[in-house]
Amino acid sequence: MWITLQLTLGGALLAIVIAVVLGLGARVHNIVVRGLCRTVIEFFRGTSLVVQLFFLFFVLPQFGLELPAMVCGILGLGLNYGAYAAEVVRGSINAVPAGQWEATTALSLSKTQTMRRIIFPQAWALMIPSLTNYLIHMLKGTAIVSFITLSDLTFHTEQLRVQTDTFFAYGVSLVIYFVVAYILTLLMNGLEVRAKHRLGRGEPLREALSVKAPNTTVAAEGGRSA
Amino acid sequence: MPTTTDSETAPESGAPATAPAIRFQDVEKRFGDNVVLKDLNFEVSKGDRVTLIGPSGSGKTTILRLVMTLEKATGGYIHINGEPLTHELRGGKRVERSEKAQKQIRKRIGMVFQQFNLFPNMTVLENIIEAPVHVLGQSKEQATRRAMELLESVGLPNKAKAHPLQLSGGQQQRVAIARALAMDPEILLLDEVTSALDPEIVGEVLAILRRIADTTDITMLIVTHEMQFARDVSNRVLMFDGGRIVEEATPDVMFTEPKHERTQAFLHAVLGGQEGQIGTH
């Protein structure tokens, strides 16, 4: 259980860093940088996660680089999902309207200022739903690390099955995965509400969390000034 | 119209004080095979208010976008205060200037867009002080004080903390005007700034622009379909068609006795009332 969470969170943090770096790199003007980023993205998207893990865990030691299983797991998950999420980052940045870029040119903001202060905050709100998907996917993807000797949730399920019975063990496992996934979804939804509120759309997170009757005025206000 | 003699190789330093604010010299702009502007030559003196009119697709907006460096000319040279903007003639060849050099000139130019283009991730105040603080290096207090003055002057002093999307189109455009002015531009480009607004709020935006025209000496290059506004504010009107200037006159002459038949046809269509091509831009 703890191993599964560690892998998910560690993998997710690494993945988001990799996604942002590769996603930004895949849209720069310099063809060398762009080509490199695209190659990395395509390589890690295009090869099996299990094989990547085996490579990290069983092949690298032959070249003298022996990494702990946990590091291999986080690295494998982070690279694999980071490559997928890089496309989300790139797509979301491209989805920010051209007028926003033009306004930054008209105000003489530098490229870094433009990306950091104007474009990325807007793209962030766009990427969260897709990133949530990958996060949930990764949580369940962690099951394959039992192949590289880590005792994760699925591994313990097997042990439980031997001690009890099949229905009970897999039933418990389903519930645990679901509860964790649901908690992660709620957290990400919270992030999305906050990000959208910062763009002036929808209510602040605090209000969204408070229990109340369905609010129809928010939708009406949102459609006002197009 | 002062004629300038500074050569196209004019270095960035020592630009003559008499140099026009904007000078187009044999400018060509093409997108692929589509030639939008061809052999375009004109000047805008400092403090001039020049309106560009003409049917849609005649290249008016492209001219503003070239001055703002949102597009780059594919031929010829554009000079701002006698200094080459994006390209210069060096050693007999047309070469692009460094980004640093372009940025220095760009800072003196502001633009207000048809679609406002306010930053939705910032409040109204943050929108206005963003560039003064991060580009001009003003202190936050200084920029805020100036921003509040500007908000006051566009009639929105109590919207500083609002988010752009909570404002009406007219209010957003007034904020966009304040944001452009906060950079103290020498040249202000107005690109169909009322075209996206409901008819009943066009007036409030134009009134503000009229006042800016009356109280400052900012050079303005205006693309608009509001002929009354063009007449009130500008001291020169250029009629475009097919990427060329077909007629140039003071507003009084242009709107009462246009000489060219293309101008006559265009003005008839625009001023003729609702049945014309006003809405087709």
Q: A174-189 pLDDT, tens per residue? A: 998 899 999 999 999 9
Q: Quick: pLDDT tens for B12-37.
A: 444 556 789 999 999 999 998 888 99
Of A105, A110, A200, the CB nearest to B120: A200
* Residue B243: pLDDT over 70: yes
Structure tokens at A89: 């980052």
Torsion sign (Cα): B32, B27, B243, B59: positive
Closest CA to A187 of A203, A209, A218: A209
Number of folded domains that form chain A? 1
Q: Identify the sign of the CA torsion A7, A12, A13, A17.
A: positive
In this prediction, what percent of chain A has a pLDDT beyond 70?
92
The helix/strand/coil state of B29 is strand
pLDDT tens, residue by residue, B89-101: 888 899 999 989 9
Identity of the residue numbered B211 = R
pLDDT at B277 over 90: no
Residue B158 has what pLDDT?
93
Residue of B nearest to A113 (CA): B134
What does the alpha-carbon distance between residue B190 and residue B53 come to, in Å, rounded to a whole number? Answer: 12
Q: Which residue has the higher pLDDT, A128 or A199?
A: A128
Provide, as residue numbers in chain B, all residues whose Cβ is less than 8 Å from the Cβ of A109: 130-131, 134-135
Is B103 in contact with A113 (Cβ distance < 8 A)? no
Question: Chain B contacts of A222, Cβ < 8 Å?
Answer: 165
For the domain that residue A203 is a member of, what is the CATH number? 1.10.3720.10
- The DSSP element (H or E) to which B23 belongs, if any, is strand B22-31
pLDDT of amino acid A161: 85
- Give the whole-angstrom CA distance, residue B226 versus residue B201: 13
Please state, as a whole number, how many other Cβ atoms lie within 10 Å of the Cβ of residue A210: 8
Contacts of A113 (CB under 8 A, 6+ apart): A104, B134, B135
In a domain, A155, yes or no: yes
The pLDDT tens digits for A141-178 are: 888 887 887 777 888 888 888 888 888 888 888 998 89
Q: What is the mean pLDDT of residues B110-137?
A: 95
A211 confidence band (pLDDT: 50, 70, 90): low
Torsion of CA A166, A167, A171, A173, to 10 degrees: 0
> Is B113's CB within 8 Å of A107's CB?
no
Contact present, B155 and B204 (Cβ < 8 Å)? yes
User: What is the ipTM metric for this complex?
Assistant: 0.86
State pLDDT tens for residues A39-56. Answer: 999 999 888 888 899 898
Residues of B in contact with A113 (CB under 8 A): 134-135
Interface of A with B in 75-114 (CB under 8 A): 97, 99-100, 102-103, 105-110, 113
Q: Looking at chain B, which residue has its C-alpha nearest residue A125?
A: B121
- Quick: pLDDT tens for B146-200: 999 999 999 999 999 999 999 999 999 999 999 999 999 999 999 999 988 888 8
CB contact under 8 Å between A121 and B135, yes or no, is: no
Query: Which residue segment(s) compose the domain that A107 sits in?
Result: 2-212
Cβ distance of A108 and B183 shorter than 8 Å: yes
Strands ordered across the beta sheet of B75-80? B34-44, B22-31, B75-80, B83-84
Give the mean pLDDT of chain B: 88
> Which positions in chain B touch A122 (Cβ < 8 Å)?
119-121
Residue B273 has pLDDT above 70, yes or no: no
pLDDT of B2 over the 80 cut: no
Residue A219 domain-assigned (yes or no): no
Per-domain residue ranges of chain B? 109-184
Q: Which residues of A67-89 are buried (b: 16+ CB within 10 A; e: fewer)?
A: eebbebbbbbbbbbbbbbbbbbb
Nearest-CA distance A92 → chain B (Å): 15
- Cα separation, B270 vs B268, in Å, equals 6
- Closest residue in chain A to residue B167, using alpha carbons only: A225
Q: What's the rounded Cα separation, in Å, for the pair A31 and A43?
A: 18
Encoded amino acid at B222, one letter: I
CA nearest to A125, candidates A206, A196, A208, A201: A196
SS3 per-residue string spanning B142-173? HHHHHHHHHHHHCCCHHHCCCCHHHCCHHHHH
